[in-house]
Structures are given as structure tokens and as C-alpha cells.
Amino acid sequence: MTLRYLILGLLTERPMSGYDIRKSISGSMGLIANVSYGSLYPALHRLLEDGAVTVEVELQDGRPPRKVYSITDDGRQEFERWLRQPAGADQVRREFLLKLWLGKTLAPEELTNLVEHRRREVESNMARLNEMRNQVGDKAVTYTWVLDYFAEMYQAELRWLSSLKERLEER
């Protein structure tokens, strides 16, 4: 997923500041995307240079001016074209799996600790997912489809982690 289209997609909902965009991504979209301010603001500047967004500066009492970005007609058309194209190959990279792959020097109890930590992380993500389901309600069926996907993936990962832990205990 490219940050460009993530930003354009969010701006189709409403104008937002960079802070609002990052908050939206880390909040309701945290399961599918992540962005730092270090990558967000250069992407916003490129969108601005390309004419895909505009910016309006709002003065604030006792605080720095707030820049609010809006999608342009060109930006909306570009986003719609992208949205209609088939999705590219997933670019999933997981540090946990990398550590398992390279963890041949770890003692069995260290591998078990790694697996247990991941299990707790997935369970925490499941709890967060359930909270998100309650917040989303009937907003959009496409939101619930994405949440359903993650629920299935987390359940599958929890089953796999349980199986992996059993194999580690047999070693």
C-alpha cells in the first residue's frame, strides 16, 4: 500500500491536518497501516506539488498555524483510478517471523518466550479489534469486511502459535 493513496483516501472523507491524518491512521486504521510524521509530511508535500491536494493555513491563538489539507478534483480522480485497479502483491514483513527464521541459536525457552510474547500481542490485537467493531457499528460494510479479515487472521495465528508452542515443548 502506498502512503500516497492512503492519504488521498482519508482526505476523500474530510479535510484534515497532518496530525489528524496520523491520528486516523494510528487509531481506526492501525490494523492495516502505520505511518510516521517523518514519512507523512514529505508525502503531503509531494501531493501538494502534484496538485492532488491543497492546503489552507488556519491561525490559532497561542499555537502554531494549523495546515489543513483537502483533496482536489485531480487528486480524487487519481485516487478513484487507483482504487479500481487490482491490488498489488502484499508486502508483509514481520519481525517475529524473521526472528523465528534466524533463531536457530536461541535456547528452547527463549524461543518459547518469543512465541508467548507474540501470542499476548495477538490477543491484545484481538481485543483492540473487538473494540473497533463496536465503534464502527454500521458505518460501512467495507470496514466490517476488513475487521472480519483480521479476526480470521488473528484466530489462525493463535492456533498456529499454540501448535508451535507444543512443538517447542516436545524438543
Q: What is the pLDDT along the chain (171 residues), one digit of tens a residue?
A: 489 999 999 999 999 999 999 998 887 777 778 888 899 999 999 999 999 999 999 999 999 999 999 999 999 999 999 999 988 877 767 889 988 898 888 888 899 999 999 999 999 989 988 888 887 766 678 888 988 999 999 999 999 999 999 998 887
Plot region of 13 (φ>0 → left; ψ -120 to 50 → alpha; else → beta): alpha
Best CA proximity match to 146, nearest among 32, 34, 33: 32
Placement of cell 480522480 in the chain = 77
Does residue 75 contact residue 47 with C-beta atoms inside 8 Å? yes
* Helix or strand (DSSP H, E) at 63: strand 63-71
115: number of Cβ within 10 Å: 19
